[in-house]
Amino acid sequence: MIVTLTANPSIDRTVMLDSELVRGGVHRARTTVSDPGGKGVNVARVLTASGVHAMAVLPAMAGDPLLDALASKGVRFCGVPTDGFARTNITVSEPGGTTTKINEPGSVLTAATRDALFDAVLDLGRDAAWVVLSGSLPPGVTGDWYAEIVRALRGTSCKIAVDTSDEPLLALAASFPDSAPDLIKPNSEELAQLTGADADELERAASAGDPTATVAAARILVGRGVSSVLATLGSAGAVLVDAEGAWFAAPPPIEAISTVGAGDSSLAGYILADIERCSPADRLRRAVAYGTAATALPGTTLPTPDLAREETVTVRALDSPHSSVTAPSSITSHRSSTLS
């Protein structure tokens, strides 16, 4: 079982336009779609669609439409009672994949709800392969809460992944190595927040095939106790760094439709490969395949295994800069038979 915590869940409403967004203009939506959201919820949705038992832990008021939306997707959940319905987040998606997001802050969590969430994650985590702590924290929760949960889970056998930003991310890092998880998944901006790197330069260099700066930044975190760093770099690909080495994955060229959920899909892909005991290169390959598949889908649609084309992702072991790790023949033959 994989447990995901989404302390600030949402209904994600995506509005897709036929033309570029013009500030102050009047636009007609080509289509709109609503889905259960929040980063941990997205990870649970991808895992569930891939046939893996996932449990989404979240605060939810009885009768909240979010719970009905989760049930309609077949996602198992543990809803901790709270006051108020889940927030609604708006995404405006333009042709070419540019997205503009407007996120509500979410309802205030009382101390009782926060403690009940903490206890639920700890209880379920004792029997989990992974616990994933994802997304922002709602009003009423201090920024160091993820660090508290990581420390509490240290006495269990589960692996811990964290994907967050801003104050919760900085608070987590402030108590490394005591709060260092098994996996952290920053994007370029979050990696820059943690290490002082330039986010734009990280992506520019990686786009040109040189992820050296990203690797150097990720190694700072590994040196502070994080077991593995999965740094996603948008269309440039992703880097995986651990104590044993570093790998860079380049995605195939695609027509980007929406970037919503791409990072969450990458994290889910990594976990899927990890529970199958795949090598670091193949964990990274599947992460990028899932993230790329998400980018090619509209709105908050998330990828299924048949859409994650692992054989199109090139992985390079960076300790040997001129060597490439090609897709195993088993992946190629399986994918070609299902996707041709």
Domain boundaries, the chain: 1-181, 182-340
Do 1-181 and 182-340 fold alike per CATH? yes
User: How confident is the model over 16-46, as pLDDT tens digits?
Assistant: 898 999 999 999 898 888 889 999 999 999 9
Main-chain phi, psi angles of 332, to 5 degrees: -60, -45
Contact assessment for residue 54 and residue 4, using Cβ atoms and an 8 Å cutoff = yes
- What pLDDT sits at residue 137? 95
CA distances from 310 to 231, 281, 293, 305, 306 (A): 18, 11, 10, 10, 10
Cα end-to-end span (Å), the chain = 32
Give CATH for domain 1-181.
Answer: 3.40.1190.20
CB 10 within 8 A of CB 106: yes
Residue 55 confidence (pLDDT): 98
- pLDDT reported for residue 14: 87
Position with higher pLDDT, 340 vs 196: 196
pLDDT confidence of residue 320: 46
Q: Which architecture characterizes domain 182-340 according to CATH?
A: 3-Layer(aba) Sandwich (3.40)
Q: What is the pLDDT of residue 337?
A: 26
Higher pLDDT, 107 or 331: 107
- Of 253, 293, 233, 252, give the one whose Cα is nearest residue 269: 293
Question: Tell me: the pLDDT tens digits for 291-337?
Answer: 999 998 877 789 999 999 999 999 999 964 444 444 433 333 333 22
**E-only strand ranges, 43-124:** 54-59, 76-80, 87-93, 99-102
Is-contact 128 2, C-beta < 8 A? yes
β-bridge mates for residue 313, sequence order? none
Digit-coded pLDDT (tens) for 42-98? 999 999 999 999 999 999 998 899 999 999 999 999 999 998 899 999 989 888 778
Q: From CA 304, how far away is CA 216, in angstroms rounded?
A: 33
Given this model, what pLDDT does residue 199 score?
Answer: 96
Amino acid 301: pLDDT: 84
Most distant CA pair in the chain, distance: 56
For the chain, strand residue ranges (E) read: 2-5, 10-17, 29-37, 54-59, 76-80, 87-93, 99-102, 130-134, 159-163, 183-184, 228-232, 238-242, 245-250, 314-317, 324-325
What tens digit of pLDDT does each residue of 132-186 get?
999 999 999 999 999 999 999 998 999 999 999 999 999 999 999 999 999 999 9
Residue 273 has pLDDT above 50, yes or no: yes
